[in-house]
């Protein structure tokens, strides 16, 4: 079977699963929603069929797992978002349409040779900083939930940081490919542009209080530097700097101290200072409320989950229990309704995507492709770890989206760029291996 | 670069596996403790999606606890209502939105929510919850007789005290009244809990939430003479005809311990009497000498056979029941005290129920029941049946007992002595025409002079006992057991025996 026929078969499996998901939400909530919801599944399948056809035309040799996994993840997200609130699901559906469009355009535009991107590396580097800087601009920047991540233009809201991540990975892949030997020797002059752009990115992230992204960028940078230079000492130095930096940030920013306290001691038996009200309250009723209720949601799921559409997310009077449930905390919602079986399966899907991504990187013939695929893949996996690990109290919680599943346009679009990038690299690598002209 | 790529891939897999492990921890290992957290907002809602079982009295016509159905956000929620308000409130308890529970609502929660593990039950529950259906809990059918319960509470009125009535053979509790009472519907209303805390009763410090019937600890006074007499007779130390001389007091440690005062403030003197007569007229000096003769150890050993020093079994939460026995005060807390050295306890005062002996009304009802039951202690119970939502019986309580306390002959002797108390002794106020009532009065001294704890413990008919009753009324100024408590016991007996 050819790559694309296999992809089609997997897509049909993902399509059936989407249908089952929407059907179970519909059965559980038929008093509230119409059978029209089932058309979501059909529409969704049709959308991915279009993406498949574009891939068939542009990247016939690309890895056949990536697109179906992305389809499955967006479907899981869309089903849960739909279950939590049909209005958001409609918007998310639109974003997925735009995402597929972006995916198709990227494949079409770069199908000849994506490696020409290398020539614009500094443009990507500066572009990343510019994108990250946008929320700080007066007039269009907006502060949401303690961090300035949003840009508001007209009626449209987006998080430029998500796209900045892709931009930075392209810059790093190109720069590291070119300078990897000299960097490994440790000549300070060659580090200049790298440190300027990367340092700039980190500074902007701290200025915007976007700790989740700061951690993600740091991780991606370190991973790509390690892959490019093979110098473990760099990793150790960077980890040391990370620790020093963490302590400094912990000392300097009350915002960070609060996160760490919530992480280590989410429950108190006595009343403590509550930064929201200025009074005192049990920490679980105040600062760590979101984390703690999210754990309750996960715990309530137990082994088999409550079932899609039958979980509990609102109080008796109809207020949502966990804020940001369909964005940062969507994993808590999924874990409650799908249970340990479903949540583990979801994590396995991320794992398969990551392993396919690294396989693409391994098979790629040139340094830029390898680094690009590795950066995109590791970013995807590490972002999953940061948000889910934060929710599960493995690490302190920092708000960031769950790739392809969380509600949010910028996140969906940036992850379709990741998908397009991996498929482009994979197509060239597989074509070269099979002796065909890419 | 491939070696580094492989390592990076392994590192990524480790990160994701850590997430699977952490998810497993929260969803399997820690799930139970998360569910039990008081601030768990999800459980607060989940409890309302379950239609808790009804709690009904004997005969099912009177419903103590039911649900009010309410639709919200496509969910059907069930809120608890208590249609009988203060009736048996401390026994039924409450279950609130903030997940506070008390009484049977707390201890029988698993049955009421259908969470009790049983294969068919689990299956039905799973079917109910799939497709968003309502999970129905199981109904409780109590042994309480609502009509008589109402009468008992009316008899107590605003006085602080308790009434326990039970079947002396089976242990089925017919009445469990505690006064002052409160309306469980208030608990969930804004400011309602504070209102409940303000209820004081006539005694001025009545804590309405306390189930006085099972956890109120009172000095038993002369009702304890049943235990002393049981010990003396059953061990063969004395017979009902054993002679005593009553000079109006008893000498202990070189000091005079006087008999109970009459309302006219003079100690009674009886002269030459038998043990039975001493019991009939509740003569303290007689029992003081009995105590000195048989000793503290024997009295306490028999008390234990009647169930003292153990929390009496019942379906209400263990924390809402207290064991009876000697208590000592340590650091402002009273602790159950089983003295290693019996000589540290004053045998004379213990024998007539003063000393540091504290008892619950439930324990005293068990004492009366044991005498009525030929010497075997019945095991008290409140829940007759647990019935599934489909009408099937899930649990039907079989009467049990807590072992033999005294010989049948001792029980018969005690019955005769208790009959004489009502016929011509201190308990004449409990006489019912056409029925022989066996009883014992108690008038326990409190820290305030001439303010007493009034007791009456009885059963009837004496020749074929059907009901045993214990009544206690707190802080009665010059109120003797025979005058204050016996009429309440009489009314309860009449209602239960349909006389």
Check CB contact under 8 Å for B1 and A223: no
Stretch B99-127: mean pLDDT: 75
Judged against a pLDDT cut of 70, whether residue A148 lies above it is answered with no
Query: Among A226, A301, A350, whose Cβ lies nearest the Cβ of B4?
Result: A226
Partners of A295 on chain B (C-beta within 8 Å) are 26, 34
Q: Tokens representing A151?
A: 């840009």
Check CB contact under 8 Å for B22 and A392: yes
pLDDT for A366 equals 92
Partners of B125 on chain A (C-beta within 8 Å) are none
Check CB contact under 8 Å for A227 and B5: yes
- Number of helices and strands (H, E) in chain A? 14, 5
Q: How confident is the model at residue B130 (pLDDT cuts 50, 70, 90)?
A: low
Pairing of strands B55-56, B139-142: parallel
Partners of A355 on chain B (C-beta within 8 Å) are 9, 13
Mean pLDDT of chain A: 88
Check CB contact under 8 Å for B27 and A303: yes
Q: How confident is the model at residue A156 (pLDDT cuts 50, 70, 90)?
A: low
pLDDT for A246 equals 85
Q: Tokens representing B496?
A: 């239960």
pLDDT for B281 equals 92
Pairing of strands B271-274, B438-445: unpaired
Contacts within 8 Å (CB) and 24+ apart, A325-329:
A325/A84, A326/A80, A326/A81, A326/A84, A326/A85, A326/A88, A326/A406, A326/A407, A327/A401, A327/A406, A327/A407, A327/A408, A328/A387, A328/A399, A328/A400, A328/A401, A328/A402, A328/A406, A329/A290, A329/A294, A329/A391
Partners of A228 on chain B (C-beta within 8 Å) are 1
Residue B257, strand partner residues: B250
Q: How confident is the model at residue B263 (pLDDT cuts 50, 70, 90)?
A: very low
Q: Which residue of B has its CA nearest to A381?
A: B12
Secondary element (H or E) of residue A178:
helix A160-185
Partners of B188 on chain A (C-beta within 8 Å) are none
Check CB contact under 8 Å for A300 and B34: yes
Judged against a pLDDT cut of 60, whether residue A51 lies above it is answered with yes
Give residue-wise pLDDT tens across range B58-97.
988 899 999 988 876 667 788 889 999 999 999 999 988 7
What contacts A80, CB < 8 A, 6 or more positions away? A308, A326, A330, A333, A334, A337, A405
CA distance A106 to chain B (A): 25
The Cα B477–Cα A280 span in angstroms is 48
Judged against a pLDDT cut of 60, whether residue A396 lies above it is answered with yes
Per-residue three-class SS string for chain B: CHHHHHHHHHHHHHHHHHHHHHHHHHHHHCHHHHHHCCCCHHHHHHHHHEECCCEECCCCCCEEEEEEEEEECCEEEEEEECCCCCCCHHHHCEECCCCCEEHHHHHCHHHHCCCCCCHHHHHHHHHHHHHHCCEECCEEEECCCHHHHHHHHHHHCCCCEEEEEECCCCCEEEEEEEECCCCHHHHHCCCHHHHHHCCCCCCCCCCCCCCHHHHCCECCHHHHHHHHHHHHHHCCCCCCCCEEEECCEEEECCEEEECCECCCCCECCCEEEEHHHHHHCCCHHHHHHHHHHHHHHHHHHHHHHCCCCCCCCCCCCHHHCCCCEEEEEECCEEEECCCCCHHHCCHHHHHCCCCCEEECHHHHHHHHHHHHCCCEEECCECEEEEECCCCCEEEECCCCEEEECCCHHHHHHHHHHHHHHHHHCCCHHHCECCECCEEEEEEEECCCCCEEEEEEEEEECCCCCCEEEEEEEEEEECCCHHHHHHHHHHHHHHHHCCC
Instruction: Please answer whether residues A173 and A368 qualify as being in contact, where contact means their C-beta atoms are separated by less than 8 angstroms.
Output: yes
Q: Tokens representing A159?
A: 């998080």
Check CB contact under 8 Å for A296 and B43: yes
Query: How is residue A314 annotated by DSSP?
Result: B
For a pLDDT cut of 90, what percent of chain B falls above it? 62
Q: In A29-85, which ranges are continuous DSSP H helix?
A: 38-58, 66-84
Check CB contact under 8 Å for A347 and B19: yes
Nearest to A152 by CA among A409, A403, A414, A326: A409
CA distance B44 to chain A (A): 8
Query: Among A292, A299, A377, whose Cβ lies nearest the Cβ of B27?
Result: A299
- Considering A315-329, B107-121, B386-400, the range whose residues carry the highest mean pLDDT is B386-400
Query: Among A31, A336, A388, whose Cβ lies nearest the Cβ of B74?
Result: A31
- Determine contact: B98 vs chain A, CB below 8 A: no
Q: Tokens representing B267?
A: 């100690």
Residue B467, strand partner residues: B460
The Cα B50–Cα B110 span in angstroms is 11
Strands (DSSP E) contained in A175-334 are: 272-273, 280-281
Tell me whether residue B459 is exposed, middle or buried, using C-beta atoms within 10 angstroms of its C-beta: 0 to 12, 13 to 18, 19 or more. Answer: buried
What is the full DSSP assignment across A237-263?
HHHHHHHHHHHHHHHH-HHHHHHHHHH
- Give the C-alpha distances (Å, rounded to integers) separating B490 from A226, B175, B460: 91, 13, 10
Instruction: Please answer whether residues B92 and B104 qualify as being in contact, where contact means their C-beta atoms are separated by less than 8 angstroms.
Output: yes
What contacts A180, CB < 8 A, 6 or more positions away? A228, A229, A367
Tracing tokens 């496509």 back to the chain, one arrives at B74
Nearest to A331 by CA among A381, A284, A382, A389: A389
| Chain mean position to CA B273 | 36
Which of these ranges, A21-35, A101-115, B301-315, has the smallest mean pLDDT? A21-35
Partners of A31 on chain B (C-beta within 8 Å) are 74, 132
The Cα B173–Cα B379 span in angstroms is 10
Check CB contact under 8 Å for A267 and B37: yes
- Give the C-alpha distances (Å, rounded to integers) separating A388 from A88, B15, B123, B303: 22, 10, 33, 61
Partners of B39 on chain A (C-beta within 8 Å) are 282, 284-285, 292
Instruction: Tell me the backbone φ, ψ of residue A378, rounded to 5 degrees.
Output: -65, -40
pLDDT for B262 equals 47
Selected residue with higher pLDDT from A17 and A27: A17
CA distance A31 to chain B (A): 7
Predicted complex ipTM: 0.94
Q: How confident is the model at residue B264 (pLDDT cuts 50, 70, 90)?
A: very low
| Interface probe, candidates A392, A395, A402, chain B, greatest B C-beta count within 10 A | A392
Check CB contact under 8 Å for A343 and B27: yes
Partners of A381 on chain B (C-beta within 8 Å) are 12, 15-16
Instruction: Please answer whether residues B462 and B434 qualify as being in contact, where contact means their C-beta atoms are separated by less than 8 angstroms.
Output: no
For a pLDDT cut of 70, what percent of chain B falls above it? 94
Q: How confident is the model at residue A180 (pLDDT cuts 50, 70, 90)?
A: confident
Query: How is residue A320 annotated by DSSP?
Result: B
Q: Could you give the 3-state DSSP secondary structure of residue A392? A: coil
Give residue-wise pLDDT tens across range B433-461.
999 999 999 999 888 888 899 999 999 99
Find residues 54-93 of chain B whose CB sits inside 8 Å of chain A. Answer: 72-75, 77
Judged against a pLDDT cut of 80, whether residue A204 lies above it is answered with no
Check CB contact under 8 Å for B9 and A321: no
Judged against a pLDDT cut of 80, whether residue A233 lies above it is answered with yes
The Cα A104–Cα A109 span in angstroms is 8
Instruction: Please answer whether residues A135 and A142 qualify as being in contact, where contact means their C-beta atoms are separated by less than 8 angstroms.
Output: yes
Stretch A334-345: mean pLDDT: 94
Q: Which residue of B has its CA nearest to A316?
A: B45
Q: Tokens representing A12?
A: 């049909």
| Interface probe, candidates A316, A375, A376, A397, chain B, greatest B C-beta count within 10 A | A316
Check CB contact under 8 Å for A381 and B77: no
The Cα B159–Cα B152 span in angstroms is 12
Query: Among A27, A340, A361, whose Cβ lies nearest the Cβ of B23?
Result: A340
Q: Tokens representing A379?
A: 């970013």
Partners of A392 on chain B (C-beta within 8 Å) are 19, 22-23, 25-26
Instruction: Please answer whether residues A34 and A316 qualify as being in contact, where contact means their C-beta atoms are separated by less than 8 angstroms.
Output: no
Judged against a pLDDT cut of 90, whether residue B205 lies above it is answered with no
The Cα A130–Cα A125 span in angstroms is 9
Stretch A243-265: mean pLDDT: 87
Taken in order A338, A341, A343, A348, the sign of the CA dihedral is negative
Find residues 121-150 of chain B whose CB sits inside 8 Å of chain A. Answer: 129-132
Judged against a pLDDT cut of 80, whether residue B135 lies above it is answered with no
pLDDT for B176 equals 97
Q: Which residue of A has its CA nearest to B46?
A: A312
Instruction: Tell me the backbone φ, ψ of residue B468, rounded to 5 degrees.
Output: -120, 140
pLDDT for A146 equals 59
Query: Among B12, B28, B130, whose Cβ lies nearest the Cβ of A354?
Result: B12
Residue B80, strand partner residues: B67
Check CB contact under 8 Å for A384 and B16: yes
- Give the C-alpha distances (Å, rounded to integers) separating B132 from A25, A306, A333, B41: 10, 10, 17, 19
Check CB contact under 8 Å for A299 and B97: no
pLDDT for B126 equals 62
In 10 A of CB B38, how many CB atoms?
A: 11
Q: Could you give the 3-state DSSP secondary structure of residue A305? A: coil
Which of these ranges, A15-29, A222-236, B363-377, has the smallest mean pLDDT? A15-29
A-B contacts at Cβ under 8 angstroms: 164
pLDDT for A177 equals 92
In 10 A of CB B431, how many CB atoms?
A: 15
CA distance B99 to chain A (A): 13
Partners of B76 on chain A (C-beta within 8 Å) are none
pLDDT for A147 equals 61
| Interface probe, candidates A26, A296, A305, chain B, greatest B C-beta count within 10 A | A296
Mean pLDDT of chain B: 89
Check CB contact under 8 Å for B16 and A347: yes
pLDDT for A297 equals 94
Judged against a pLDDT cut of 60, whether residue B488 lies above it is answered with yes
CA distance B120 to chain A (A): 19
Q: Tokens representing B350?
A: 């213990």
The Cα A176–Cα B31 span in angstroms is 46
CA dihedral B81, B84, B90, B96 (to 10 degrees): 10
Partners of B28 on chain A (C-beta within 8 Å) are 302-303, 340
pTM above 0.80, yes or no: no
Query: Among B23, B41, B49, whose Cβ lies nearest the Cβ of A392?
Result: B23
CA distance A385 to chain B (A): 6
Check CB contact under 8 Å for B16 and A295: no
The Cα B428–Cα B281 span in angstroms is 11
pLDDT for A200 equals 81
């Amino acid at each position: 079977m050819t790559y694309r026929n296999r992809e089609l078969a997997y897509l049909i499996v993902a399509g059936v699963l989407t249908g089952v998901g929407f059907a179970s939400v519909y059965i559980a909530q038929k008093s509230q929603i119409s059978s029209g919801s089932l058309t979501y599944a059909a529409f969704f399948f049709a959308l991915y069929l279009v993406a498949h056809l574009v891939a068939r035309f542009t990247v016939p040799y690309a890895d056949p797992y990536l697109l179906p996994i992305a389809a499955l993840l967006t479907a899981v997200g869309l089903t849960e978002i739909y279950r939590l609130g049909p209005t958001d699901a409609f918007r998310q559906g639109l974003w997925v349409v735009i995402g597929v469009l972006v995916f198709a355009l990227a494949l079409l535009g770069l199908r000849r040779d994506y490696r020409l991107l290398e020539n614009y590396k500094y443009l990507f580097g500066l572009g990343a900083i510019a994108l990250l800087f946008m929320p700080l601009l007066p007039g269009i920047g907006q502060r949401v939930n303690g961090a300035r991540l949003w840009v508001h233009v007209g009626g449209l809201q987006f998080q430029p940081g998500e796209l900045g991540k892709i931009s930075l990975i392209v810059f790093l892949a190109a720069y590291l490919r070119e300078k990897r030997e000299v960097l490994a020797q440790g000549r300070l002059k060659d580090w200049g542009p790298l440190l300027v752009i990367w340092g700039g990115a980190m500074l902007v992230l701290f200025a915007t209080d976007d700790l989740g992204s700061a951690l993600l960028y740091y991780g991606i940078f370190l991973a790509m530097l390690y892959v490019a230079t093979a110098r473990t000492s760099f990793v150790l130095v960077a980890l040391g700097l990370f620790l020093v930096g963490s302590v400094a940030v912990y000392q300097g920013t009350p915002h960070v101290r609060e996160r760490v306290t919530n992480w280590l001691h989410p429950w108190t038996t006595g009343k403590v200072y509550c930064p929201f009200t200025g009074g005192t309250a049990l920490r679980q009723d105040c600062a760590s409320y979101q984390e703690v209720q999210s754990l309750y949601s996960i715990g309530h799921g137990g082994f088999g989950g409550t079932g899609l559409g039958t979980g509990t997310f609102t109080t008796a009077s109809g207020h949502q229990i966990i804020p940001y449930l369909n964005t940062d905390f969507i994993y808590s919602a999924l874990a409650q309704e799908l249970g340990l079986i479903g949540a583990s399966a979801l994590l396995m899907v991320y794992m398969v995507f990551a392993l396919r991504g690294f396989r693409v990187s391994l098979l790629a013939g040139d340094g830029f492709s390898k680094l690009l695929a590795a950066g995109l893949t590791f970013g995807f996996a590490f972002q999953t770890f940061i948000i889910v690990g934060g929710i599960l109290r493995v690490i302190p919680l920092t708000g960031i989206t769950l790739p392809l599943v969380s509600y949010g346009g910028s996140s969906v679009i940036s992850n379709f760029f990741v998908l397009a990038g991996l498929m482009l690299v994979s197509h060239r690598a597989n074509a070269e291996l099979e002796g065909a002209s890419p | 670069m491939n070696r580094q790529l492989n390592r990076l891939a392994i590192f990524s897999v480790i990160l994701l596996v850590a997430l699977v492990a952490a998810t497993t921890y929260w969803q399997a290992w820690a799930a139970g403790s998360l569910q039990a957290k008081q601030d768990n907002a999800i459980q607060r809602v989940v409890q309302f999606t379950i239609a808790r079982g009804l709690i009904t009295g004997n005969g099912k016509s009177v419903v103590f606890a039911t649900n009010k159905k309410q639709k919200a956000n496509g969910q059907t929620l069930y809120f608890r209502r208590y249609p009988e308000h203060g009736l048996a409130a401390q026994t039924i308890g409450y279950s609130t939105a903030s997940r506070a529970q008390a009484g049977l609502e707390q201890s029988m929660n698993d049955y009421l929510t259908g969470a009790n593990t049983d294969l068919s039950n689990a299956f039905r529950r799973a079917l109910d919850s799939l497709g968003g259906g309502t999970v129905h809990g199981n109904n409780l059918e109590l042994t309480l007789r609502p009509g008589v319960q109402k009468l008992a509470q009316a008899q107590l009125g605003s006085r602080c005290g308790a009434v326990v009535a039970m079947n002396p053979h089976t242990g089925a509790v017919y009445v469990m009244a505690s006064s002052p009472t409160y309306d469980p519907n208030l608990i969930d209303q804004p400011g309602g809990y504070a209102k409940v805390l303000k209820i004081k009763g006539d005694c001025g410090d009545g804590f309405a939430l306390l189930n006085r019937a099972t956890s109120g600890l009172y000095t038993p006074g002369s009702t304890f003479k049943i235990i002393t007499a049981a010990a003396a007779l059953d061990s063969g130390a004395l017979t009902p005809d054993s002679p005593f001389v009553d000079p109006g007091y008893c000498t202990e440690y070189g000091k005079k311990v006087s008999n109970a005062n009459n309302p006219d403030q003079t100690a009674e003197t009886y002269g030459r009497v038998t043990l039975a007569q001493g019991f009939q007229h509740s003569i303290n000096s007689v029992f003081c000498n009995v105590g000195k003769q048989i000793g503290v150890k024997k009295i306490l050993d028999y008390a234990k056979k009647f169930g003292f020093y153990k929390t009496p079994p019942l379906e209400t939460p263990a924390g809402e029941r207290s064991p009876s026995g000697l208590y000592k005060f340590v650091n402002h807390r009273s602790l159950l005290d089983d003295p290693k050295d019996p000589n540290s306890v004053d045998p004379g005062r213990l024998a007539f129920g003063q000393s540091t002996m504290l008892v619950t009304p439930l324990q005293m009802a068990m004492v009366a029941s044991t005498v009525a039951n030929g010497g075997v202690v019945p095991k008290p119970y409140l829940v007759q049946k647990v019935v599934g939502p489909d009408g099937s019986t899930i649990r039907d309580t079989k009467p049990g007992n807590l072992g033999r306390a005294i010989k049948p002959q001792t029980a018969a002797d005690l019955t005769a002595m208790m009959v004489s108390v009502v016929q011509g002794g201190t308990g004449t106020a409990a006489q019912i025409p056409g029925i022989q009532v066996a009883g014992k009065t108690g008038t326990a001294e409190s820290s305030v002079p001439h303010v007493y704890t009034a007791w009456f413990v009885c059963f009837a008919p004496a020749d074929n006992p059907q009901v045993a009753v214990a009544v206690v009324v707190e802080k009665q100024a010059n109120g003797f057991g025979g005058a204050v408590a016996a009429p309440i016991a009489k009314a309860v007996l009449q209602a239960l025996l349909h006389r």
